[in-house]
DNA sequence: TTGTATGCGTTATCAA
DNA sequence: TTGATAACGCATACAA
């Protein structure tokens, strides 16, 4: 029945000092205006009584909390969980505690979580995860964040700079452009792209950089070879199946139908899709990269040992998590700061030099 | 300069009602003893003033919060992030918000986080992740949880039932025993085990079930072929290198040295270690499963498409997250409830039937 | 350096 | 059904 909560008043009484003195002795704030002897007495009393300060009461009295909100689409996705690890590490350094929301890409839940963090008086909110091409949803979220910031909260995002807050901007276009150049250097000319959802901005940017770069090199991408699909492993699998069914991907040397020459390489806009595509290729009896080369994006750490090793674009996800945390916590700026982050092309065995 | 916080008093004044009425109208608690007309007026005033209830003040007045603490070793690890996704989903259903700590396997930080959650007056704490064979650390954590529970908090764990709280117990031994039986059925007799850290209880249990089952089948495991290593991809890689260097794993048909017959299959106590082992085998020019079969544990979703597909033991990680959440939130029991969860052996191409 | 008293924003108790 | 008013547990301005 020790459910009786021990309060600071109890500690003060036990130590024979006033509430104020007990408070000062225990939080040990800037101006430590408490005699060492008393201080000891208070600390001893607190220990004796197993006193545990009530963070909620402190938050109310101080007018600020120690919480940091983190919104991800899906914490089980390695992309987000790696960012989250960077965020938790940075938050711990800042003495903050991370409150996590995994919203399953539901705009309504994102909004609800921002409002929840507003109620919790969280110090800052971090929105990780690419936006969709849904102006209404983006504007609603942006508005909620404006409101939140107007009330003193910090906010930052990773992905596209669409929310009006400090953002770690992933340079998707330049990264895929560079990938194209390097694949070109290895002799690849004819590509297909597993493009993800049309409305998915990250997917779109990756496709766009890829396409633009191919245009620049004078070997434009055939629009028929851009396959929209889900941003998931299954999406990659099914899109690859389509390519195979249409005969644009098949046994090497077999100019099997489709529109002219067969595709030499398939670019999936993320790694898990690329892995799905590999699985589909194998299921169809094709060899990767013998029959078709495959490249992805993200360099998910768990996938670094797959066979054949996957050509991809590395993003420093944990660092990104740390960066966005610092942005969210930085003193309020008038104009949103944009911190660009480049991807690094990693050529591996899934796209060997073409003979 | 709308930094002026709108309080419930403001809403009450704006609506021309008392503070009490405003409170009742807005939280809409069980006994809705407020006239619809007034209620509307209050809600309208709240909306007009963009009122946002202060969760900390509510927590203090109500005497309970809406927070749920989750401790994982490493949120970037797919094992934990998948459990975390189950926890966040269940927590949302319960109207709770998840506070996340990624402790990097640091016992001190685990303890600190429990105390932090105690200060936050969190409703419950979930400890995910296997214990180490460190009695002092386990006891300290158990004590902290006892203290926490004595103050009204809920607590639950996943892994070993060593913390004195409700636990989702992973039946590691029976799972690996079943794996052995099935591999036996496919003709395997001579195994090596990449065993993880000796003090790691989960690793130990998996090894133990494996070994015991082999004993029962009359084909005991050679102790020299149990390689301690880190519980990581690199640990698996290095342990496999050792086996190769010692000549107990090598080209099929090449009875190359070592102690007698070469190893037919290598069991790694988790999937990422198994993948590391595969990488080491390939780096040494060996074929999997041609030269050596490999099996893992966990059935990490991101790894389901690797080649060759990995024989492993599936754990319903997201469900486990949901289950442990329910345990943590369930009304206080005297004796710790133990909920066993079985793994399901999934035979795949990395351990084909032996000729 | 210490103590007193007030406020933080809400809920809940008690009268009206 | 509504309204004063007292908690809730702590920090802090002000006084001593």
Reduce the secondary structure of chain B to three states and give it as a string: CCCCCCCHHHHHHHHCCCHHHHHHHHHCCCCCCCCHHHHHHHHHHHHHHCCCCCHHHHHHHHCCCCEEEEEECCCCCHHHHHHHHHHHHHHHHCCCEEEEEECCCCHHHHHHHHHHHHHHCCCEEEEECCCECCHHHHHHHHHHHHHHHHCCCEEEEEECCCCCCEEEEECHHHHHHHHHHHHHHCCCCCEEEEEECCCEHHHHHHHHHHHHHHHHCCCCCCHHHEEECCCCHHHHHHHHHHHHHCCCCCCCCCCCCCCCCCCCEEEECCHHHHHHHHHHHHHCCCCCCCCCEEECCECCHHHCCCCCCCEEEECCHHHHHHHHHHHHHCCCCCCCCEEEECCEEECCCCCCCCC
Is A37 part of the contact surface with chain B (CB cutoff 8 Å)? no
Residue of A nearest to B114 (CA): A52
Task: State CA B295 to chain mean position distance.
Answer: 20
pLDDT the model gives residue A196: 98
Specify whether A130 is located in the same domain as A111.
yes
- Residues of B 29-68 whose CB lies less than 7 Å from any atom of strand D: 33-35, 37-39, 57, 60-61, 63
Spatial distance between the Cα atoms of A274 and B248, rounded to a whole number of angstroms: 35
Specify whether A19 is located in the same domain as A71.
no
CATH classification at residue A250: 3.40.50.2300
Q: Is the CB of B23 under 7 A from strand C?
A: yes
Whether A3 is covered by a domain: the verdict is no
pLDDT the model gives residue B252: 74
Specify whether B149 is located in the same domain as B263.
no
Task: State CA B215 to chain mean position distance.
Answer: 30
Please give the average per-residue pLDDT across A190-199, as a whole number. 97
Chain A 3-22, CB below 8 Å of chain B: which residues? 3, 5
A-chain residues within 8 Å CB-CB of B3? Answer: 150-152
Is A212 part of the contact surface with chain B (CB cutoff 8 Å)? no
Radius of gyration from C-alpha coordinates of chain B: 27
Q: What are phi and psi for residue A265, nearest 5 degrees?
A: -140, 145
pLDDT the model gives residue A250: 86
Is B33 part of the contact surface with chain A (CB cutoff 8 Å)? no
Query: Tokens at residue A353, please?
Result: 């030099």
Specify whether A187 is located in the same domain as A297.
yes
Instruction: Please judge whether B54 and A60 are an interchain contact, meaning their C-beta atoms are less than 8 angstroms apart.
Output: yes
Q: Count of CB atoms within 10 A of residue A329's CB? A: 18
Contact A295, A350 (CB under 8 A): yes
Whether B346 is covered by a domain: the verdict is no
Q: Is the CB of B5 under 7 A from strand C?
A: yes
pLDDT the model gives residue A353: 98
Instruction: Please judge whether B307 and A306 are an interchain contact, meaning their C-beta atoms are less than 8 angstroms apart.
Output: yes
Specify whether A206 is located in the same domain as A308.
yes
- Residues of A 37-96 whose CB lies less than 7 Å from any atom of strand C: 37-39, 57, 60-61, 63
Please give the average per-residue pLDDT across A14-35, as a whole number. 87
pLDDT the model gives residue B31: 61
- Please tell me whether residue A160 adopts helix, strand or coil conformation: coil
Spatial distance between the Cα atoms of B40 and A336, rounded to a whole number of angstroms: 38
List beta partners, residue A99.
A69, B99
pLDDT the model gives residue A1: 38
Q: What are phi and psi for residue B258, nearest 5 degrees?
A: 60, -165
Please give the average per-residue pLDDT across A257-264, as a whole number. 71
Whether A353 is covered by a domain: the verdict is no
Is A99 part of the contact surface with chain B (CB cutoff 8 Å)? yes
Specify whether A191 is located in the same domain as A245.
yes
Number of domains in chain B: 3
Closest CA of chain A from B311, distance in Å: 15
Kindly report the CA angle at B311 between B310 and B315, in degrees rounded to 5? 100
Q: Which domain holds residue A273?
A: 172-315
Q: Of the candidates B31, B83, B74, which has an alpha carbon nearest to the alpha carbon of residue B328?
A: B83
Chain B 101-130, CB below 8 Å of chain A: which residues? 101-102, 115-116, 118-121
pLDDT the model gives residue B334: 82
Q: pTM value?
A: 0.96
Spatial distance between the Cα atoms of A321 and A86, rounded to a whole number of angstroms: 4
Q: What are phi and psi for residue A7, nearest 5 degrees?
A: -105, 175
CATH classification at residue A27: 1.10.260.40
pLDDT the model gives residue B260: 64
Closest CA of chain B from A213, distance in Å: 30
pLDDT the model gives residue A129: 86
Q: Is the CB of A41 under 7 A from strand D?
A: no
Specify whether B178 is located in the same domain as B302.
yes
Whether A109 is covered by a domain: the verdict is yes
Query: Tokens at residue A261, please?
Result: 């020459």
Please give the average per-residue pLDDT across A310-320, as a whole number. 98
Residue A180 pLDDT > 50, yes or no? yes
Specify whether A90 is located in the same domain as A161.
yes
Q: Which of B76, B86, B108 to mutate to test the interface with A (most CBs of A within 10 A)?
A: B76
Q: Of the candidates B281, B269, B290, B274, which has an alpha carbon nearest to the alpha carbon of residue B245?
A: B281
Specify whether A140 is located in the same domain as A33.
no
Instruction: Please judge whether B76 and A82 are an interchain contact, meaning their C-beta atoms are less than 8 angstroms apart.
Output: yes
Instruction: Please judge whether A120 and B56 are an interchain contact, meaning their C-beta atoms are less than 8 angstroms apart.
Output: yes
List all residues 6 or more positions away from A233 whose beta carbon is below 8 Å from its beta carbon.
A272, A273, A275, A276, A279, B305
Q: Is the CB of B55 under 7 A from strand C?
A: no
Whether B17 is covered by a domain: the verdict is yes
Please give the average per-residue pLDDT across A225-240, as a whole number. 98
Specify whether B105 is located in the same domain as B141.
yes
Spatial distance between the Cα atoms of B332 and B150, rounded to a whole number of angstroms: 10
Q: Count of CB atoms within 10 A of residue A344's CB? A: 12
Give the residue carrying structure tokens 């839940």.
A109
pLDDT the model gives residue B254: 61
Please give the average per-residue pLDDT across A197-226, as a whole number. 97
Q: Is the CB of A12 under 7 A from strand D?
A: no
Spatial distance between the Cα atoms of A304 and A290, rounded to a whole number of angstroms: 20
Whether A346 is covered by a domain: the verdict is no
Of B53, B101, B305, the CB nearest to A233: B305
Q: Of the candidates A54, A55, A91, which has an alpha carbon nearest to the alpha carbon of residue A321?
A: A91
pLDDT in tens, chain B (355 residues): 345 799 999 999 999 999 999 999 998 665 668 899 999 999 999 999 999 999 999 999 999 999 999 999 999 999 999 999 999 999 999 999 999 999 999 999 999 999 999 999 999 999 998 899 999 999 999 999 999 999 999 999 999 999 999 999 999 999 999 999 999 999 999 999 999 999 999 999 999 999 999 999 999 999 999 999 999 999 999 999 999 999 999 887 665 544 567 899 999 999 999 999 999 999 999 999 999 999 999 999 999 999 999 999 999 999 999 999 999 999 988 889 999 999 999 999 999 999 7
Please give the average per-residue pLDDT across A145-154, as a whole number. 96
Is A151 part of the contact surface with chain B (CB cutoff 8 Å)? yes
Whether B233 is covered by a domain: the verdict is yes
Residue of A nearest to B64 (CA): A56
pLDDT in tens, B146-175: 999 999 999 999 999 999 999 999 999 999
> Residue A20 CA to nucleotide C2 C1', Å?
8
Specify whether A72 is located in the same domain as A160.
yes
Specify whether B276 is located in the same domain as B299.
yes
Of B3, B74, B279, the CB nearest to A305: B279
Residue A253 pLDDT > 70, yes or no? no
Look at chain B and count its residues: 355
Closest CA of chain A from B10, distance in Å: 16
Whether B349 is covered by a domain: the verdict is no
Which positions of chain C lie under 7 Å from any protein Cβ? 1-5, 7-13
Instruction: Please judge whether A85 and B65 are an interchain contact, meaning their C-beta atoms are less than 8 angstroms apart.
Output: no
């Amino acid at each position: 029945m020790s459910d009786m909560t021990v309060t600071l008043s109890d500690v003060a009484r036990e130590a024979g000092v006033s509430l104020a003195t007990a408070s000062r002795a225990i939080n040990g704030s800037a101006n430590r205006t408490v005699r060492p002897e008393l201080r000891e007495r208070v600390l001893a009393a607190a220990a004796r009584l197993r006193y545990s300060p009530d963070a909620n009461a402190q938050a109310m009295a101080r007018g600020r909390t120690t919480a940091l909100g983190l919104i991800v689409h899906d914490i089980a996705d390695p992309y987000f969980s790696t960012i989250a690890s960077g965020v938790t590490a940075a938050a711990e350094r800042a003495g903050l505690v991370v409150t996590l929301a995994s919203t399953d890409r539901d705009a309504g839940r994102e909004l609800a979580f921002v409002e929840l963090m507003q109620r919790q008086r969280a110090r800052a909110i971090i929105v990780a995860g690419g936006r969709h091409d849904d102006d209404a949803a983006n504007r609603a979220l942006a508005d909620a964040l404006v409101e939140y910031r107007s009330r003193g909260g910090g906010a930052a995002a990773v992905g596209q700079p669409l929310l009006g807050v400090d953002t770690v901007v992933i340079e998707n276009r330049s990264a895929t452009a560079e990938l194209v150049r390097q694949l070109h250097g290895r002799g690849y000319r004819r590509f297909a792209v597993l493009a993800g959802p049309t409305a998915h901005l990250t997917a779109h940017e990756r496709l766009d950089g890829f396409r633009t770069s191919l245009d620049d090199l004078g070997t434009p991408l055939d629009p028929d070879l851009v396959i929209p699909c889900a941003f998931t492993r299954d999406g990659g699998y099914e899109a690859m199946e389509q390519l195979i069914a249409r005969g644009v991907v098949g046994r090497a040397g077999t100019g099997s139908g489709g529109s002219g020459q067969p595709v030499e390489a398939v670019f999936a806009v993320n790694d898990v899709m690329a892995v799905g595509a590999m699985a589909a290729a194998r299921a169809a009896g094709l060899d990767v990269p013998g029959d078709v080369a495959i490249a992805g994006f993200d360099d998910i750490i768990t996938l670094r040992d797959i066979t054949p090793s996957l050509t991809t674009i590395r993003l420093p996800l944990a660092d990104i998590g740390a960066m966005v945390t610092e942005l969210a916590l930085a003193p309020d700026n008038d104009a949103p700061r944009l911190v660009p982050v480049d991807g690094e092309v990693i050529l591996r065995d899934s796209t060997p030099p073409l003979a």
